[in-house]
Structure 1
Amino acid sequence: MRGRRILGLAALATAATLALAGCTTDQLALDYGSGGNKNYVAGDGSVLEIEQDQRTQKVEFEGVTDAGLDVSSEDYLGEVLVVNFWASYCAPCRVEAPELEKLSQKWSEKGAVFLGVNTYDEPGTSLAFARTYGVTYPSVIDAKTAAVQLAFAGTVAPSALPTTIVLDREGRVAARILGQLPAASILDAIIKTLVAEGEK
């Protein structure tokens, strides 16, 4: 992603898409659930799973977390990586945060790790969200460059907030949940399948 002159326009386009995909108030969260026409793209909780032999190139990204630590996709190779795209203003993001944290704790040291991608907030706001909702896994601050969002655009784009994308141990997109988790058990089952792939 470094040095690409196309980053500016593409980042703005992606950021605009994700901004529209979010929600600014709890009323919009209700509209999100009902499918109301409120000028944003609402995820419907649909689940896309990609068979192992149909997965394409690995996703490569790098960024800085809300705690100021450098991270990259290379750090997670060999483990299943659950990437959750979110923002603090998004009510469905707030609803699913505790469920994601529970799954993060369940799979810690068992072959899967979690990483948030904050598409809107400054580090302080992101950290405050984590404290409020008890989220312990890190989040990349991606609001200014949209670099992480762009890294996924060539595979299965995070076209709504929230979106959860799961990478297999090779860093390839294996599943996407568009919108709020319909049930934690669905993501849990996806993770279990992908962790098992690496144990065969």
Structure 2
Amino acid sequence: MKSRFGVRSVLVGAALVGALGLAGCSGGSNLSDQWNEGGDKGYVSGDGSTTSTSIDERSEPVVFEGTVEDGSTFSNKDIAGDVTVVNFWYAGCAPCRAEAPDLVAAHAEFADDGVQFIGVNTRDQVAQAEQFAEQFNVEYPSIMDNAGGREVQRAFAGQVPLNAVPTTLILDREGRVAHRVIGQLAGESQLRTLIQETLDESPAEAKS
């Protein structure tokens, strides 16, 4: 079903609020204020809001490049023409751990549908990232973005508040941000809906 709407913000319901509470997060505060006041906890507890942007109001494609766990390079060129899920995370972030099974399940579900997944690890060393991947059966790669000025995070500046972890983006086939969830995902069903909605856009629409 094709979406025809402007930018909208939808607060995720009580289930997400409860999940965030269990993860040690408190929602509702300004993200930058949270980081300034409590950056030592290592993540900003987003309010779980979802922002979706209509095709004709999306920004330019995001250009990025970074090194993944095995030392190879991953960039926007590797996702050209595909819908892509970009998840900002790190191993010690409780909401990141809580949402990992939902990302893994969605990755398996859409593996044959032209949907790619890429993590952006904002804090860890390779060994920690690999341990996390093994624990949660994560099969897609993550860019190690904790050094060198956080170049990938900066490439998404304007789309993702720096240090807002977890954040999940859905990029359309042109590499533009179609949907953004700041905070823990509400569940696999939420992620599935956002992916499917982006997949349902025709190539002609995505280029408009």
**Same fold, judged at TM 0.5 (above):** yes
Note the residue ranges of structure 2 that are not aligned, 5 or more in a row.
Answer: 1-20
* Distance in 1 (alpha carbons) for counterparts of 2:131 and 2:80: 29
Over 3 Å counting, the alpha-carbon distance change for 1:98 and 1:31 in structure 2 is closer
- Tell me the CA shift for residue 138 of structure 1: 0.4
Which of 176, 185, 188 lines up with 2:189 in the alignment? 185
Residue 31 of structure 1 corresponds to 24
Residues 38-47 or 141-150, more deviating: 38-47
Q: Is this contact kept in 2: 1:158–1:178, CA < 8 A?
A: no
**3-state SS of the aligned residue for 2:200?**
helix
Superposed counterparts of 1:1-200, under 5 Å: 30-33=23-26, 39-40=38-39, 41-145=44-148, 146-157=150-161, 159-198=163-202
Q: Is this contact kept in 2: 1:80–1:166, CA < 8 A?
A: yes
- Tell me the CA shift for residue 198 of structure 1: 3.2
Runs ≥4 residues deviating over 4 A: 33-38
- Tell me the CA shift for residue 154 of structure 1: 3.5
Deviations 1:136-165 (A, max 9, x none): 110000000201000000344455211001
Q: Which amino acid aligns with 2:174?
A: E
RMSD of Structure 2 on Structure 1 (CA)? 2.2
Deviations 1:50-90 (A, max 9, x none): 00111110000001101211110011011001000001110
- Tell me the CA shift for residue 102 of structure 1: 0.5
Identical aligned residues as a percent: 42
* Distance in 2 (alpha carbons) for counterparts of 1:156 and 1:124: 26
Over 3 Å counting, the alpha-carbon distance change for 1:130 and 1:113 in structure 2 is same
Q: Which amino acid aligns with 2:127?
A: G
Give me the TM-score of the superposition, normalised by structure 2: 0.77
Q: Is this contact kept in 1: 2:28–2:46, CA < 8 A?
A: no
Over 3 Å counting, the alpha-carbon distance change for 1:80 and 1:163 in structure 2 is same
Note the residue ranges of structure 1 that are not aligned, 5 or more in a row.
Answer: 1-27
Deviations 1:14-45 (A, max 9, x none): xxxxxxxxxxxxxx964304669772431111
* Distance in 2 (alpha carbons) for counterparts of 1:121 and 1:45: 23
**3-state SS of the aligned residue for 1:92?**
helix
* Distance in 2 (alpha carbons) for counterparts of 1:30 and 1:143: 23
Residues 52-61 or 159-168, more deviating: 159-168
Residues 183-192 or 161-170, more deviating: 183-192
